[in-house]
Amino acid sequence: MPASRDVTAARVAIGSDTDLAWVRQQVRQAAAGLGFSLVQQTKLITAASELARNTLIHGGGGYMEITPCPQGTAPGLRLSFVDSGPGIRNVEQAMADGYTSGGGLGLGLSGAKRLVHEFLLDTCPGRGTTVTITAWATVVPSARPEAT
């Protein structure tokens, strides 16, 4: 168990819904250790929960990699969700609000993107999907993203 403030890179396996709870705990611990505010923590944990569930349900399991990622003086956290499942054939459709292929609400990818500062989707049909998100602990509240 890393002590708070001492956040090191780690890998968390995603193979069951118990692992989803573990992912949330690890992200919470790391974000709190880096000084993320409560709202920033909540957003990042929620995004991680959505993406980890995608890894589990659509990717057939995989892992999360958690890496500290400072930018200037702002501490940050980068999370990668990696699976070697079927991949996403239609990325545009998968990123649309309300589109679901798995019985959910269709907010997983699009919603997670709104909750973080950076969002990168790398997918190849037949070879898997990697979603990488990054958030920084900002002191000043960041500007609201423009409505689309």
25 vs 124, beta carbon nearer another protein: 25
Task: Give the shortest CB-126-to-another protein separation in angstroms.
Answer: 27
* Measured distance CA(126)–CA(55) in Å, rounded: 14
> Chain-centre distance of CA 59, in angstroms?
14
Query: Nearest Cα to 134, choosing from 23, 4, 27?
Result: 27
50 vs 83, beta carbon nearer another protein: 50
State how far the alpha carbon of 57 is from the alpha carbons of 11, 22, 54, 124, in Å.
19, 16, 5, 17
* Measured distance CA(94)–CA(91) in Å, rounded: 5
Task: Give the shortest CB-8-to-another protein separation in angstroms.
Answer: 23
Task: Give the shortest CB-143-to-another protein separation in angstroms.
Answer: 14
Contact residues toward another protein (CB under 8 A) are 16-18, 20-21, 24-25, 28, 38-39, 41-43, 45-46, 49-50, 53, 97, 104-105, 107-108, 110-112, 114-115
68 vs 104, beta carbon nearer another protein: 104
